[in-house]
Chains A and B, each alone.
Chain A
Amino acid sequence: MSTKSQVRESWGTSYGQMVWREFFKSRLNTACMIFIIFLFAAAVLAPFLANDKPFVIRIGGQLHFPLFGDLQPNDYCVFLAAIVGFCQLLLVLRNHRRVEPSIRGRVFWRQVSINTVIMVTGIILIFIFVPRRLDATDYKSMVASGKATSAYFAPVPYGYARTDLKSREQPPGREHWLGTDDVGSDVLCRLIHGSRISLSVGFVAVGLSTVIGIIIGAILGYFGGKVDFLGMRVVEIMMAIPTFFLIITIVAFFPRSLFNIMIVIGITSWTEDARFIRAEFFRLRNQDFVQAAVSLGLPLRSILFRHMLPNGIAPVLVNATFGIAGAIFIEAALSFLGFGVAPPMPSWGQMLSLGVSTTGRFLWWLTLFPGMAIFFTVLTYNLVGEALRDAIDPRLRKAA
């Protein structure tokens, strides 16, 4: 009689579990993961961490919840995405315990597609039904004047777009923990909200470049010959133009927005991925399982992405992690040069550029803190990339 646990033992350890274990062997990697989770939490919960509206306030004997009322549609979208993503993570963990290895991949893709549908419909519904509100009430002065009582504010009680010219360019102090910028906005608050921009640029841009790179690399590697020759010329051209010049050129000609920056970084950084995938597919093309898939008459899509891709994705995953660090850096550099998101939106690079004020004064808190935010985020992703490379594929391990 075989119990459940015995069945599970006969499944053995999956590739994912092996990578997971190898990865978390090191304490440094664990610390990096914790930092990334912390960053994500800050980005998702930004309105609850730094907001000039109180959670609860009593005005004239009546309880109000201004912070919750002031949440914008995109805040709800972020929450929805976070919840769905978290559920997907739990489902993956559950799959490893409950689902047999042979069908695990199929189950996983079904879950992903269902969750994507939920997310997309949710976002559409949110944008249809949640109104854009603008609550300009100054609750703090209401509390100060005694009109309102029992107000509970967020830990950082400032809004990222709220300007206060009376307290501009203040060094860190009790009032503003990390000081204020040139229009009197709180630096800590803007840092917290800025993490949203950095992370979203990082992930969307890298997602885009990875998808483009995989598709192009797969086609070049699988077909070879003339297709490969022509395709590689295009890749070479892309690689020959200095990426940052290209990005700046595109940014110069197109209107500036967060969306454009994501796309620009995405379409300029796919060449590495394409080359990795192409090399892997060259190697895999003549192997038996691919030949079998071809002779079974499977459609090309299935051969490329179902049979070959899972065997060749490791270097791309590693590259994606470095890519996130790179994209965050490029976004910060663009914002620093003034080509980033428009000013009331907080971005780390744009905050950094305020470090030397227009009068030439050096504001160390506006240089140190955003710079540290960029540095630690980039460093963490680079460290995770190195660790993943070691964990995912011993072949890639450069003598450590």
Chain B
Amino acid sequence: MIPTLLGITIMVFAISRIAPGDPVSLSMGPGGQLDAARAADVRKARMALYGLDKPIPVQYAKWLGRVVRLDFGDSLKHHRPVIDIIKERLPITLTLNLIAFVLIYVIALPVGVLAAVKHKKLFDRFSSVILFMLWSLPSMWVGQMMIGYLCGPTFENWFPPAGLSSNYADQLAFFPWLWDRLWHLVLPVLCLTYSGFAYLAKQVRAGMLDNLRADYVRTARAKGLSNAAVVFHHAFRNSVIPVITIMATLLPAMLGGSVIIESIFSVPGMGLLAFEAVTTRDYNVVMAVATIGGVLNLIGLLLGDIAYAIADPRISFEGSEL
């Protein structure tokens, strides 16, 4: 865990240092080159100020030391500590992703199970086609189509196209406020959800089919157990285990996907922050977002592992061959 964490920071730091150009020449801009001698002096002074004149490993150690204390420096654009900005943005992205995550599982599990039970029947064929198409739908297209057709003046005007709440939201009582917030969340969450649940439902279906063909299921049926008991008590429990590991692969995809979704729907979360930081070359923010994204992801993986161990008592991580 710790080495992986270190590795992530090394990688983020390396990218920022391998890249051509440095923050100082960027912050000085073209005006800095008017008087060459003076510009060189200013440059030197600033390099010393930011500690960029030290050898790279020293720079890394210093940066890491600050990162551990959650000090990512100041944003070059907002002129505020990066961590403050992230504190505002992170909960929004987490809420969005958590809602989407719950929805993914709530939708995917029944669909996958039902498709497997009705193998090669109408529902199975129909849902397979739909799921496959959902899986391949580019989210930016879906997002933009939704904005265009469902929240514009041109066609229907059902949903708000941007943001998390209406302008007057802070004057609302709690329940109207909640309603307003939910109303804003519908489309972004829908966009974040559909490809994930398509993928997950496919996996659930495949796992269920494997298990429904297994000998122990036939035994259970031969014992005279009801269909529901066989499906839910025997087959489903065993197919749920691989589904948990998929959680770990879904999470990074969703975090990445939130960059697209949040910038389409102007949701002020981490994704939009990353997008803005990249377009304005706000290096401190970019590095902070990448590091925190990696850490969040690691936490997700860890949770996946723990859930895995809980779901299947046979699995232990002691002395296992990786």
Contact = CB atoms under 8 A, between A and B. Distances in A.
Contacts of A253: 15-16, 18-20, 283, 286
A352 B148 contact: no
B295 to A, nearest CB: 9
B7 interface: yes
Interface in A279-336: 325, 329, 332-333, 336
Nearest to B279: A338
A382 B195 CA distance: 13
Interface stretch (B43-51, B82-90, B136-144, B312-320): B136-144
A399 B177 CA distance: 47
Given A371-B145, A378-B136, A243 B252 contact: yes
A244 B275 CA distance: 11
Nearest to B136: A379
Interface in A357-400: 361-362, 364, 367-368, 370-371, 374-375, 378-379, 382-383, 386, 398-399
A355 B141 CA distance: 10
A345 interface: no
A240 interface: yes
A233 B213 CA distance: 37
Contact of A244 (B18, B20, B154, B257): B257
Nearest to B19: A253
A255 B20 contact: yes
Contacts of A336: 140, 260
Given A362-B154, A379-B136, A356 B147 contact: yes
A246 interface: yes
In the complex, which range does the number of interface residues on chain B fall in? 35 or more
B243 interface: no
Contacts of B144: 352, 355-356, 367, 371
B108 interface: no
B263 interface: yes
A113 to B, nearest CB: 33
Given A255-B20, A333-B260, A368-B145, A375 B140 contact: no
Contacts of A368: 145
Nearest to A339: B278
Contact of A237 (B8, B206, B257): B8
Nearest to B128: A400
Contacts of B53: none
B289 A245 contact: yes
A339 B260 CA distance: 12
B90 to A, nearest CB: 14
A398 B201 CA distance: 13
Given A240-B4, A337-B263, A362-B154, A252 B286 contact: yes
Interface string B270-294: 0000110111010100110110011
Contact of A375 (B3, B141, B257, B301): B141
Contacts of A329: 138
Contacts of A353: 140
Contact of B256 (A244, A332, A349, A378): A244
A248 interface: yes
Contacts of A370: 141
Nearest to A247: B256
Interface in A217-260: 229, 232-234, 236-237, 239-246, 248-255
Given A371-B138, A371-B145, A399-B213, A245 B4 contact: no
A378 B132 CA distance: 11
Contacts of B260: 244, 333, 336-337
Interface SS majority for chain A = helix
Given A234-B7, A253-B19, A356-B148, A242 B252 contact: yes
Contacts of A240: 4, 8, 252, 294, 297-298, 301
B135 interface: yes
A242 B294 contact: yes
Contacts of B132: 379, 382-383, 386
B210 A398 contact: yes
A115 B159 CA distance: 56
Given A241-B290, A243-B252, A339-B278, A364 B148 contact: yes
Contacts of B155: 362
A249 B15 contact: yes
B255 interface: yes
Contact of A352 (B141, B279, B286, B287): B141
Nearest to A272: B249
A399 B286 contact: no
A236 B11 CA distance: 12
11 contacts: A241-B297, A245-B290, A248-B278, A333-B140, A337-B260, A337-B263, A352-B144, A356-B147, A379-B132, A382-B135, A383-B132
Report, nearest first, the 3 A-B pairs whose CB atoms are least far apart.
A244-B256, A253-B19, A371-B141
Interface of B: 3-4, 7-8, 11-12, 15-16, 18-20, 132-133, 135-141, 144-145, 147-149, 152, 154-155, 206, 209-210, 213, 251-253, 255-257, 259-260, 263, 274-275, 277-279, 281, 283, 286-287, 289-290, 293-294, 297-298, 301, 322
Given A240-B4, A362-B147, A367-B148, 11 more contacts: A232-B322, A240-B8, A241-B297, A242-B251, A242-B253, A245-B294, A332-B138, A332-B140, A371-B140, A374-B141, A382-B136
